[in-house]
Structure 1
Amino acid sequence: MMLSISKIFWLLIILVAVWYTFKIIEKRKSISKNNDKSQEDMSKKGIDAYKCDNCGCWSPGDKCNNKKCSKEQS
């Protein structure tokens, strides 16, 4: 069986098509993985909080926001 130029040409076309198909699939997986990772990073971010030594309540920021706390409100 002899390989003709047309058979070699079509074989190369098929190989290139398969090669680029796998490259596209890998790129999509990579993009999806990066998006999942960035969403995980956003969910892990915390907030700045302050724990009052007097009442033990946590408040956003750097002072106690509990109105029932007897500690000086500033």
Structure 2
Amino acid sequence: MQMKRHLDPLPAGYFYNGTQFVNFFGDKMDYHPLMDQFMNDYLEEANREIEKYNRELEEQEYHDLFEQKT
């Protein structure tokens, strides 16, 4: 995810020096300052896809091959 999003716009007070992200105080980070938000966005989308898939499965009719007939 870092490779995909490392050039996304930075929040105010940050710049990218080509290797690290640096804030106004000179603190350096290896990851984009908004990486937590990027991860949350990714997880929300992945969960939506999983929920959609699960709903589709629930709507399918199935027959239990091992059901005991009396």
TM-score by length of 1: 0.43
* Bigger Rg over Cα: 1
Higher helix share: 1
Higher relative contact order (CA 8 A, sep 6+): 2
